[in-house]
Amino acid sequence: MSKERARRRAEREAEKARLAEERARREAKTARRRELRGRITAVLPKPVRVARQGGVLARRRRAQNAAMLVLFLLVQVIAWLTLDMMARLAVLGLSILIVPVLVTVLFDRRS
């Protein structure tokens, strides 16, 4: 009976030692990975986080800007698909001049 208990205890201790060794290996690997990541991120520039305003007016302004951009791009695509080179450049120049006027007239931005 005593030999059986000693054998089971030895098996438990061997299993415990194996698990401890496995855990130590995992922790060493994690530590190496963390140290490597730290060395790499120390060299890279820190990202600059720009906070966007999230109010109703800010959302409306972003939607208006997106609408003007889509309109501008649509006009340019149509011009580039249908007109010759001089007319394309003329449409581009006029679009660049007219977009601020349209923004002011359509969206009533007085600032």
User: According to the 3-state scheme, what is the secondary structure of 64-104?
Assistant: HHHHHHHHHHHHHHHHHHHCCHHHHHHHHHHHHHHHHHHHH
pLDDT of residue 109: 64
pLDDT at 11 over 60: yes
Q: What is the pTM of this model?
A: 0.51
Taking only the tens place, the pLDDT of each residue in 47-89 is 888 887 788 888 888 999 999 999 999 999 999 999 999 999 9
Name the residue with higher pLDDT: 109 or 18: 18
Taking only the tens place, the pLDDT of each residue in 31-41 is 999 999 999 98
Domain range list for the chain: 1-50, 56-107
